[in-house]
Amino acid sequence: MVNMAQVNGMIEGMVPEYVPKGVAILQYTDDTIICLQDTQDNARNMKLLLYLYENMSGLKINFNKSEIIMISKDDQNSVQYSNTFNCAVGTWPIKFLGVPVSSSRIRVADWLPLDEKMLKRLDGWKGGPYLWEDASPYSTQA
């Protein structure tokens, strides 16, 4: 539906100079990021597409869990789009698949939770007996 809307000029995604009609939707399992050019027509048409999707699929989009995040950080437009989609205004950086994503340089503090998570996982590997050369099951020592 989104691709057809792009082809028919109903919506335009981000970076149209690199991807024809722009990137409008990124999805992975149950996460979706919708990327639109900053126009009210794009927003209204996307809202219509989301309602059509609900009616066709029987699924319900939870707009209470959704956020509007503007790359331009224009507070007035953020509120306006938030009202259009009946959802909250979010802030940068966001996390997508556990990785921080930002419209500007990501601070070290934004990486720390991911770094700590990886260190905890690695701690379990460090304690394994087969990581040490002399404890290998293939060792010739008895």
Within a domain: residue 113?
A: yes
Residue pair 72/78 in contact by the 8 Å Cβ criterion? no
H helices of 17-137, in order, are 40-57, 75-85, 108-126
Within a domain: residue 105?
A: yes
Within a domain: residue 142?
A: no
Can you state the percent helix, strand and coil of the chain, rounding each to 5? 45, 15, 40
Within a domain: residue 140?
A: no
Q: Which two tokens stand for residue 101?
A: 């994503």
Within a domain: residue 32?
A: yes
Within a domain: residue 141?
A: no
Of the listed ranges 77-81, 82-86, 132-136, the least confidently predicted one is 132-136
Q: What are the pLDDT digits (tens) for 109-121?
A: 877 887 888 888 8
Residue type, 59: L
Collapse the DSSP code of 80 into the 3-class scheme (helix H, G, I; strand E, B; otherwise coil) and give the result.
Answer: helix
Q: How confident is the model at residue 134 (pLDDT cuts 50, 70, 90)?
A: low
Per-residue model confidence (pLDDT) at position 28: 80
Q: What are the pLDDT digits (tens) for 34-78?
A: 888 889 999 999 999 999 999 999 999 888 888 888 888 788 888
Residue type, 40: Q
Q: Is the pLDDT of residue 141 over 60?
A: no
Q: Indicate the angle between helix axes 40-57 and 75-85, nearest 10 degrees.
A: 30
Task: Please give the tally of structural domains in the chain.
Answer: 1
Q: Which helix (H) or strand (E) holds 6?
A: helix 2-7
Q: Which two tokens stand for residue 120?
A: 């905890």
Within a domain: residue 36?
A: yes
Within a domain: residue 70?
A: yes
Domain boundaries, position 52: 2-135
